[in-house]
Amino acid sequence: MMVKATRRPLTAKAHALRRQRLVPAVVYGAHLAPIHVSIPEKDLENLFARITRSTAVELELDDGQTYHVFVKDIQVHPITQRFLHLDFYVPEPGRSLTMEVPVKLVGTARGLKDGGIVDQLHSYIPVQALPEKIPAKVEVDVSELGIGDSILVKDLPWPEGVQPLFPPEDAVVTVLARRVEVVAPVAAAAPEAAAEGEAAPAAAPEAEGEKETG
């Protein structure tokens, strides 16, 4: 994936750029001084329709210089959802990078036909790998999952050289049995207490001969 950017002077105001449908951004890395750029908003919309946060992007400057970058931070307007600012990180060659990789479920779980519910416990999994090894996503085929079955972190198809940072036995997706609510029968209502002011029923008279003798 590639996107083109234009160097911008620090004197360029962010709001003025946005009026021109340009998004201010910065390109930086541990071995690289920050480079301030602007990118057409439409180009970013097209880019993000095709990538994930762990996709390596080739960023080409207007002077011909290119960098392999990852999207580090995105700021969007809370109402319009338009891009406000982006940070692109240039990883250091030969050094491992920690990145969150999205998990995409593929197929229809067998347990759904039996009334189960698919529960995805992790939508992203942090991994450590060299920049060129980090996958844009990891796909999980759930077709054979029945009720009570799970797919664990260690079961995912990790590329060689990619180390997931969650415990291997952590469940990523499972199929749960749907809960059936049992309605308890309603108990019969107790007789109403005697209304206030009513006399209590008289006690039954004692049978003759049963009176206590003195």
pLDDT in tens, 141-166: 999 999 999 999 999 999 999 999 99
Helical residues (DSSP H) of 68-167, grouped into ranges: none
Same domain, 83 and 142: no
Same domain, 80 and 104: no
Domain assignment present for 22: yes
Domain assignment present for 159: yes
Residues 6+ apart with CB under 8 A from 127: 98, 99, 100, 101, 134, 158, 162, 163, 164, 165
Indicate the pLDDT class of residue 74, thresholds 50, 70 and 90.
Answer: very high
Indicate the pLDDT class of residue 212, thresholds 50, 70 and 90.
Answer: very low
Same domain, 58 and 105: no
The phi and psi torsions of 42 (rounded to 5 degrees) equal -65, -40
pLDDT score, position 98: 95
Q: The tokens of 34 are what?
A: 């920050």
Give bridge partners of residue 97 from the DSSP assignment.
129
Same domain, 119 and 72: no
Burial 60-77, CB ≥16 within 10 A → b, else e: eeeeeeebebbbbeeeee
Share of the chain above pLDDT 70, in %: 84
Domain count of the fold of the chain:
2
Average pLDDT over residues 83-95: 94
Same domain, 38 and 58: yes
Quote the mean pLDDT of the chain.
88
Domain assignment present for 30: yes
Distance CA 151, CA 171 (A): 6
- Residue 59: give its domain's CATH number: 2.40.240.10
Q: Is the pLDDT of residue 97 over 90?
A: yes
Distance CA 76, CA 81 (A): 5
**Which structural domain, as residue segments, surrounds residue 142?**
97-176
Same domain, 125 and 47: no
Identify the residue whose tokens are 């390109």.
27
Domain assignment present for 106: yes
pLDDT score, position 178: 84
Same domain, 80 and 114: no
Q: Is the pLDDT of residue 34 over 60?
A: yes
Same domain, 104 and 84: no
Average pLDDT over residues 12-21: 90
**Per-residue DSSP letter, 107:** S
Closest C-alpha to 7, from 61, 68, 64, 78? 61
